[in-house]
Amino acid sequence: LSQGHFPASQRFRSRRQMSRLEPPRSARSSFYRPAMGSSRADVDLAPSRSAVKEAGMPLWLSMTLGDSAILSALEQVDEWDFDVFALDRVSDHRPIVVGGIFMIRSLGLVQKLKLPMEELVNFLVAIEAGYIPTNPFHNAVHAADVMFTLRYFLQRPFFSNLLAPLDVLAALLAALSHDFAHPGVSNTFLINARTDEAILYNDQSVLEMFHAAGTFRVMLSKPGCDLTKSFTREQFLQLRETMIAMILSTDMKYHFQHLNRMRERMATDKYATVQRKDVVFLLGQALHAADISNPTKPRALQLQWTERVMTEFFLQGDYEKALHLPVSAFMDRDKPAIAQCQIGFISVLVKPLYVEMRNLLGEGLQIPVDTVQCNLNDWETEGDGMCRGWELLRAANLPDVTA
């Protein structure tokens, strides 16, 4: 294998779903499972659970949304400690379709934007199918969790008074598709391995470009998935612009640049007046905050997510070793430093962003700020003892990709 290139049968492809190097069953861990615009203030961001079935909704989905186990799992949807893993289990591993339709429908967006239910369902089914279920972290459950977390931000008065229904729809769809077809490896890996996607996107926000492009390819090219078919040209362009900007904002390379921009504005007028560019920017910040929200959740949820992300990190490190590429920081299972990784992640990246989000959105964000500090204290006190019982430190028996 020359300079880290994949054999033709195992390379990521830009014209089809990227199929990641799937670990053998011995390395899958317990995370593996088989695949399966109007006025600003006229959208109520508190979901109504009494919404009725719209025409075009398939029978299976209508029955699922009315199931008592689903309704029970969604009871805490307004709370910061909402358990998306419970929804994934009771929805037969369809958290994007079930969670997405529940939220879009209950916020009244179907009626306000005249969304065609059949195309909306088809789109979400296709997006969910595009996520790779063998990814321990970057999968449909993560996407659904990000959507529910983002909606928690959007129901704060600052956003609820600012956003039009089209903005809310764009935000929810961006959250659900922000990691569409994620291969389970980072931008650095794709660039170092010289994949087709890195070449296509010139090493710039490779994954984020890929997710956004793939999302709109599904919407506009897959039969029966164009949920914008009744939109005006202006509505479609606004939806597309907002979704793309939001997805690109999840690239960690923009974290400090965007955080400093937000701090400077908060130190002046605290967004007392906003332009369209401010709305799009703040939606991007909200999605980015939701994307890295795992350490702000209660300890039990936080540890589930941490085990998943570190499992995926170590798998990437295994592939980097096999391809003779530099092993990325904190991704070497032979030199585990999980507590150190989490302490740095929380103290340098997550906590400062959430402090600014609280300053912007108010007391509703005090819960995650307090929780992330508790989790940071636990990592500093208990160290890698927090990971007791995890199986992720075992070496993966990976396929030979060096021949």
Kindly list the catalytic residues.
138
- Side-chain-facing half-sphere of 264: CA atoms under 13 Å: 7
Q: How far apart are CA 42 and CA 45, in angstroms?
A: 9
Q: How far apart are CA 162 and CA 208, in angstroms?
A: 26
* Nearest Cα to Cα of residue 243 among 300, 293, 180, 315: 180
Which two tokens mark 43? 């959208």
Q: How far apart are CA 398 and CA 317, in angstroms?
A: 11
What letter does residue 138 receive in the DSSP assignment?
S
Q: How far apart are CA 132 and CA 36, in angstroms?
A: 10
Contacts of 62-67 spanning 24+ positions with Cβ under 8 A:
64/91, 64/92, 64/94, 64/98, 65/98, 65/101, 65/102
Q: How far apart are CA 342 and CA 82, in angstroms?
A: 22
Q: How far apart are CA 156 and CA 42, in angstroms?
A: 14
- Side-chain-facing half-sphere of 130: CA atoms under 13 Å: 28
Q: What is the DSSP string of 385-403?
A: GGGTT--TTSPP-------
Using alpha carbons, list the distances in angstroms from residue 341 to 86, 309, 334, 348: 27, 11, 15, 11
Using alpha carbons, list the distances in angstroms from residue 49 to 26, 77, 122: 42, 11, 22
Q: What is the DSSP string of 293-322?
A: -GGGS-HHHHHHHHHHHHHHHHHHHHHHHH
Q: How far apart are CA 203 and CA 193, in angstroms?
A: 11
